[in-house]
Amino acid sequence: MRQGNPGKRPLPQLVEVGIAPVRAPAAPSNLKTQGKQTWAILWEAGHIWLGPSDAVAVKLACEQADEVTSLRRAAAQIKNAGLKLQYHYATQAAEKLLMSSLSQLGFTPTARARLGLTVAQAAETESRLSRFQRRVG
């Protein structure tokens, strides 16, 4: 935006950020260890732009993280080279799907740019919200 849109492509709409939830929702009970860790990380890191309506998508990404972990463990146990290779391919496919889900949730630099949000802007928005909340409440 500072360069004046040299590519003449439509600029992303600015994101209006509401008041962030006080704390993350409880992790779904069906998640395993990796899924619960991912749940906590995603809500902590994305609390500026994630809202209650994102819980289903976050849950799906966490289930995918559990699946990747399960596939990796299973591949490590297999001795048959052909079968082990199939597990590695399945793991790579699951990782690709997980990255796609994380991107759709705004957890890659490109995805945040599409949202019109950078990490620096998120930090500044958070600090402005914190100052506002301290004044109000």
Q: Give the pLDDT of residue 126.
A: 57
122: pLDDT strictly greater than 60: no
At 12-23, the pLDDT tens digits run 666 655 555 557
Query: The tokens 């994380």 sit on which residue?
Result: 102
> What is the extent of the structural domain holding 83?
33-42+53-107
2: pLDDT strictly greater than 70: no
| Span of 26-30, 91-95, 133-137 with lowest mean pLDDT | 133-137
Q: Per the domain annotation, does 18 fall within a domain? A: no
- The share of the chain scoring above pLDDT 90, in percent, equals 54
**CA dist., res. 84 & res. 77, Å (int):** 9
Q: Per the domain annotation, does 77 fall within a domain? A: yes
Q: Per the domain annotation, does 114 fall within a domain? A: no
Helix axes 81-104, 55-77, angle to 10 degrees: 160
Overall number of domains in the chain:
1
Q: Per the domain annotation, does 81 fall within a domain? A: yes
Q: Give the pLDDT of residue 48.
A: 83
